[in-house]
Amino acid sequence: MSEGKSAKAYRTISEVAESLGVPQHVLRFWETKFPAVKPLKRGGNRRYYRPEDVELLQVIHRLLHVEGYTIKGAQKLLKERGVRPLVDALLNSTTGASGQPVPLALAAAGADPGAAALATDDITPAPTPTPTPTPTLPPSPPPAMMTAAATAAEVAAEAAGDDAGPVHEHLNGEGLGAGEPPVADAAAAGRQHRAAVVEELRAIRARLAEALGAASA
């Protein structure tokens, strides 16, 4: 506050703004939100703040800029607790166990825990929402396993078609023409074909086992 002035002297808007560390337009804005702030206005719309105006502005500054109240929350606190108790709490401000100043709402509430809890409702942070866990999908089979499985299916289908075709036709005596092998030769050829298919299937099974082992390693 300006040096050389009495504690009861009126202050200009520039003096009050400087003492609170805020721009002058902020004080004019607070006048529109807190009707209890009523500076005297003289010629040229010059504002002169009485000591009680300055004290109230100090309370508002403390609530908004230090304790984190919203405009609405500060209005509610001033309405419920009254201006004088909050001003007295500010003038007799003490520090808590953490070394930080005791919030004005608690200091003004005194020994009434219920009133203190009500007064601090507007600065209680909202609970952090718990994130929804993302479901874990099973891993896709390795490309080697998929390729081997597809090959096995193709070979098995081919083998089934080959075994049911030429041998069956020859045993029924159908499709025999000039130069075609007799039934006995066709049956032998069928057995050889099936043996080759079995060997191929065994090789595919070995590749599948190898791919499964590599995938689980």
Domain of 166? Answer: 143-216
- Say yes or no to pLDDT of 77 above 80: yes
Examine residue 107 and state whether it is found in any structural domain, yes or no: yes
Both 19 and 79 in one domain: the answer is yes
The full DSSP string for 31-98 is HHH-TT---EEEGGGEEEE-HHHHHHHHHHHIIIIIS---HHHHHHHHHHH-HHHHHHHHHT--B-TT
Instruction: Give the pLDDT confidence score for residue 115 in this predicted structure.
Output: 46
Examine residue 23 and state whether it is found in any structural domain, yes or no: yes
Examine residue 56 and state whether it is found in any structural domain, yes or no: yes
Both 108 and 26 in one domain: the answer is yes
Both 83 and 152 in one domain: the answer is no
Both 204 and 104 in one domain: the answer is no
Examine residue 132 and state whether it is found in any structural domain, yes or no: no
Both 94 and 148 in one domain: the answer is no
Percentage with pLDDT > 90 across the chain: 32
Both 114 and 153 in one domain: the answer is no
Both 174 and 212 in one domain: the answer is yes
Domain count, the chain: 2
Examine residue 66 and state whether it is found in any structural domain, yes or no: yes
Q: List pLDDT tens digits, range 154-207.
A: 545 555 554 444 444 444 444 444 455 555 666 677 788 788 878 888 888 888
- Model-level pTM greater than 0.75? no
CB within 8 Å of 179: residues ≥ 6 apart: none
Percentage with pLDDT > 70 across the chain: 58
